[in-house]
Amino acid sequence: MRWRLWALVPAILLVGVVSATVAAGDSLDGLVGNAPPPADEFDVRRVEFAPGTISIHITNPQREHLTLAQVTVDDAIVPFSIDGVRGARTLGRLESATVSVPFFWVEDDPYAIGLISSTGIVTTHDVPAAVATEQPSLHGAVGLAVIGILVGVVPIALGLAWLPSLRRASPRSLAAFMALTAGLLTFLMVEALAEALELQARLPGALNGTGLVVLGVASSYLGLTLVASRLSGSGSGLGGVGLATLVAIGIGVHNLGEGLAIGSSLALGELALGAFLIVGFMVHNVTEGLGIAAPVADGAARVSPGRLAGLALVAGAPAVLGAWIGGFLTNDLLAVLFFGMAAGAALQVVVEVGRYVARRAPGGLTSGPVVGGYLAGIVAMYATGLLTA
Amino acid sequence: MRVTRRRLLAGAPIVASAPLAAMALTDAYGSDTHMMDGHLMSAADMAGMHASMIGDAVPAPDGPDLILEPPAGHEPGPVRSYELVATEKDIEVAKGVFYPAWAYGLAGGPPTVPGPTIRVTEGQRMRVRLLNASSHPHTIHFHGIHPSNMDGVFEMVDPGATFTYEFPAAPAGLHLYHCHATPLKKHIAKGLYGALIIDPKTPRPPAQELVMVMNGYDTNGDGANEFYTVNGRAFYYARHPIRVSRSRTVRIYLVNVTEFDLINSFHLHGEFFRYYPTGTTDRFEYTDTVMLCQGQRGIVEIDFKNTGHFMFHAHVSEFTELGWMGFFEVAD
**Full DSSP string of A114-162:** EEEETT--EEEEEESS--PPPPS-HHHHHHHHHHHIIIIIHHHHHHHTT
Nearest to B318 among A75, A139, A311 (CB): A75
Interface A-B, measured as beta-carbon pairs within 8 A, has a size of: 134
DSSP A317: T
Q: Do A79 and B59 touch (CB under 8 A)?
A: yes
Q: Do A324 and B46 touch (CB under 8 A)?
A: no
Coil/strand/helix, residue B213 = strand
Coil/strand/helix, residue A348 = helix
Our CA-based measurement puts residue A310 at a distance from the nearest CA of chain B, in whole angstroms, of: 6
A229: contact with B, CB 8 A cutoff: no
Report pTM. 0.79
Residue A297, pLDDT score: 82
How far apart CA A381 and CA A188 sit, in angstroms, is 8
User: In A, which residues are within 8 Å of B6 by CB distance?
Assistant: 245, 307, 310-311, 313-314
Our CA-based measurement puts residue A266 at a distance from the nearest CA of chain B, in whole angstroms, of: 17
Residue A202, pLDDT score: 83
pLDDT digits 0-9 by tens, B123-168: 999 999 999 999 999 999 999 999 999 999 999 999 999 999 999 9
Quote the distance between the C-alpha of residue A66 and its chain's center. 29
pLDDT digits 0-9 by tens, B253-282: 999 999 999 999 999 999 999 999 999 999
Residue B23, pLDDT score: 42
Residue A166, pLDDT score: 85
pLDDT, mean of residues A117-135: 90
Residue B38, pLDDT score: 39
Our CA-based measurement puts residue A116 at a distance from the nearest CA of chain B, in whole angstroms, of: 8
Residue A111, pLDDT score: 95
Q: What are phi and psi of A132, to 5 degrees?
A: -60, 130
Nearest to A76 among B46, B94, B322 (CB): B322
Closest CA to A151 of A258, A264, A306: A258
Inform me whether the pLDDT recorded for B87 exceeds 90: yes
Residue B26, pLDDT score: 37
Coil/strand/helix, residue A388 = helix
How far apart CA A26 and CA A52 sit, in angstroms, is 47
How far apart CA B227 and CA B187 sit, in angstroms, is 17
User: In A, which residues are within 8 Å of B53 by CB distance?
Assistant: 79
pLDDT tier for residue A70 given thresholds of 50, 70 and 90 = very high
A255: contact with B, CB 8 A cutoff: no
Residue B39, pLDDT score: 43
Share of chain B above pLDDT 70, in %: 84
* Most distant pair of Cα atoms in chain B: their distance: 109
Please give the residue that has the higher pLDDT: either A204 or A249. Answer: A249
pLDDT digits 0-9 by tens, B171-225: 999 999 999 999 999 999 999 999 999 999 999 999 999 999 999 999 999 999 9
What part of A 65-84 touches B (C-beta under 8 Å)?
67, 69-70, 72, 75-79, 81, 84
What ipTM score was computed for the predicted complex, to two decimals? Answer: 0.82
pLDDT tier for residue B7 given thresholds of 50, 70 and 90 = low
Closest CA to A88 of A109, A72, A114, A67: A67
Task: Kindly write down the DSSP assignment for every residue of B140-188, as one continuous string.
Answer: -EESSS--GGGSSSS--B-TT-EEEEEEE--SSEEEEEE--PSSHHHHH
pLDDT, mean of residues A120-127: 95
Q: What Cα–Cα distance (Å) separates residue A119 from each residue in A79, A99, A116, B98?
A: 19, 18, 8, 5
pLDDT tier for residue B35 given thresholds of 50, 70 and 90 = very low
Nearest to A313 among B10, B34, B97 (CB): B10
Mean pLDDT of chain A: 86
Residue A234, pLDDT score: 56
Please give the residue that has the higher pLDDT: either A154 or A276. Answer: A154
Q: Do A75 and B322 touch (CB under 8 A)?
A: yes
Residue B229, pLDDT score: 97
Our CA-based measurement puts residue B236 at a distance from the nearest CA of chain A, in whole angstroms, of: 14
pLDDT tier for residue A253 given thresholds of 50, 70 and 90 = confident
pLDDT, mean of residues A103-120: 95
Q: How many CA atoms lie within 13 A of A359 on its CB side?
A: 12
Inform me whether the pLDDT recorded for B327 exceeds 90: yes
Within 10 angstroms of residue A247's Cβ, the number of other Cβ atoms is: 31
A39 with A89: CB under 8 angstroms? no
Nearest to A321 among B12, B35, B322 (CB): B12
Our CA-based measurement puts residue A365 at a distance from the nearest CA of chain B, in whole angstroms, of: 30
Q: What amino acid occupies position A145?
A: A
How far apart CA A45 and CA A338 sit, in angstroms, is 18
Q: Do B96 and A70 touch (CB under 8 A)?
A: yes
Our CA-based measurement puts residue A112 at a distance from the nearest CA of chain B, in whole angstroms, of: 14
User: In A, which residues are within 8 Å of B322 by CB distance?
Assistant: 72, 75-77
Pick among B99, B226, B322 to test the A interface (most A CBs inside 10 A): B226
pLDDT digits 0-9 by tens, A299-345: 766 788 888 889 899 999 999 998 888 877 767 788 888 888 888 88
A301 with A387: CB under 8 angstroms? no
pLDDT tier for residue A240 given thresholds of 50, 70 and 90 = confident
pLDDT tier for residue A243 given thresholds of 50, 70 and 90 = confident
